[in-house]
Amino acid sequence: MNAGDPPRILLVIGGGIAAYKSCELIRLIRKGGAQVTCIITRGGQQFVTPMTLAALSENPVYTALWDLKNEAEMGHIQLSREADLVVVCPATADLLAKMAVGIADDLATTVLLATDKPVMAVPAMNVRMWEHAATRRNVAALRQSGVHVVEPDAGPMACGEFGAGRLPEPEAVWAQISQRLSLPGAAVDALAGQPDFDRDPAHRALHGKHVLVTAGPTHEPIDPVRYIANRSSGKQGFAIAEAAAAAGARVSLIAGPVQLDTPHGVDRINVESAREMAEAVTAALPADVGIMVAAVADWRTKDIAREKMKKRDTGLPALELTENPDILADMAASSQRPGLVIGFAAETQDVIGNAIAKRARKNADWIVANDVSGPRGKSVMGGDMNHVHIVSDTGVDSLDAMPKDAVARALIARIGAALAQNNIDGGDTRNG
């Protein structure tokens, strides 16, 4: 895109009930100052008509390869080359599968195979289809090949079932598009730290660095079937691990119990309890950067019942609790302290004040603080958006509210800059 030209989006609309949301997305894209051209599959046309799309986008709508046979029309290669970003929304299980293996049997899939532009896919499908091993494989393959696959929302579905697979609201999809295009109003550095496939990996910001990330909740067993847990989804920590790997780092991700795909290029160690997480962190040191994103349970039961506690036998059980190790504080106090130690602080009140106190108490270099107040910490815990403030010895750097993967890239960009400036090195030589 030339400076001053509006960015151009090629929107591929697949065949699912969520296709109706693409109408609102087109409106938001136009309102945000970008141009949009639509391709709609045969299935998509069962839900939305090309005429509606043409009226909203104020551009021709393409439905079939033969639309383009006239030489006066753009060829399918040209159609994709004219775009700055290709967005597939909704991306059905069928479209994802065809994209993953490179099937080109209609206009949409042919354009997707022909494009050399960044592609973002926004899946929407029934929860069983989303969780099917075939879809998991296809999504993993697409992510590996550089397609940005957005995580679907969870909740009640049009088919009457519940679970992950809902198309995120058009505002959230637009937020991700605008971040990717670096439009005004979007965080300027949201694209920093993204893999630059034109550039030698040796020149990426975190090349040669070992980054240690904890993510997700911990489960503290009470008996063989019960545990103490919290609402952490692990999404922010996984996004940070992904962004660090994309920036060239060797990444060790110590993950609590979450159902998330392992980001490409990340070394994942699964744990259940805080004590297992503490052990895995120690084993993974030394590192140049430690980023403790996990919502570690502060307490565990003093004793774990060997057999399932029976209501009849125990009556109302009195659970005696004991404190878990503080993984962040212990790492910061250890002889293997990484050059840059970063903690997170989920707070429901006095967010900055609590983060400043936490930074001093745990001897962290930075604390990334976020407000999780609201019903069930709903906006942040489990959601896709985050609004963070980075507290360091130089003050407080407040970022705009943005999707968690954009927060991750912004944080990694700052880490890259800090390492370059201070020549921070945790003494890890395993990268050679």
Interface positions with ligand CTP (CB under 6 A):
214, 274, 292, 294, 296, 298, 324, 326-328, 343-346, 358
Nearest to ligand CTP of 238, 344 (CB atom): 344
User: Rounded to the nearest 5°, which phi and psi values hold at 104?
Assistant: -130, 85
136 touches 127 (CB < 8 A): no
**The residue count for the chain:** 432
Helix (H) or strand (E) holding 256: none
Catalytic: 159?
Answer: yes
Whose structure tokens read 């604390």? Answer: 367
Q: Which two tokens stand for residue 45?
A: 């046309």
- Distance in Å, CB of 154 to ligand CTP, minimum: 24
Residue number, 47 or 344, with CB nearest to ligand CTP = 344
Residues 190/179, Cβ–Cβ less than 8 Å? yes
- Residue from 384, 347, 381, 344 nearest 231 by CA: 381
User: Minimum distance between the CB of residue 63 and ligand CTP, rounded to whole angstroms?
Assistant: 50
In angstroms, rounded to a whole number, what is the distance separating the alpha carbons of residues 237 and 29? 29
Please identify, using beta-carbon distances, which residue of 211 and 294 lies nearer to ligand CTP. 294
Q: Nearer Cβ to ligand CTP, position 171 or 350? A: 350
User: Tokens 């033969």 appear where?
Assistant: 66
The edge-to-edge listing of strands for the beta sheet with 61-62 is 61-62, 35-40, 8-13, 85-91, 119-123, 148-149
Tokens 């962040």 found at = 328
Sign of the C-alpha dihedral computed for residues 242, 243, 249 and 252 taken in this order: negative
Annotated catalytic residue, options 23, 38, 89, 159? 159
For ligand CTP, the closer CB: 326 or 371: 326
- Minimum gap (Å) between residue 190 Cβ and ligand CTP: 23
Characterise 100 by phi-psi region: left (phi > 0), alpha (psi -120 to 50), beta (else): alpha
Residues belonging to the active site: 159
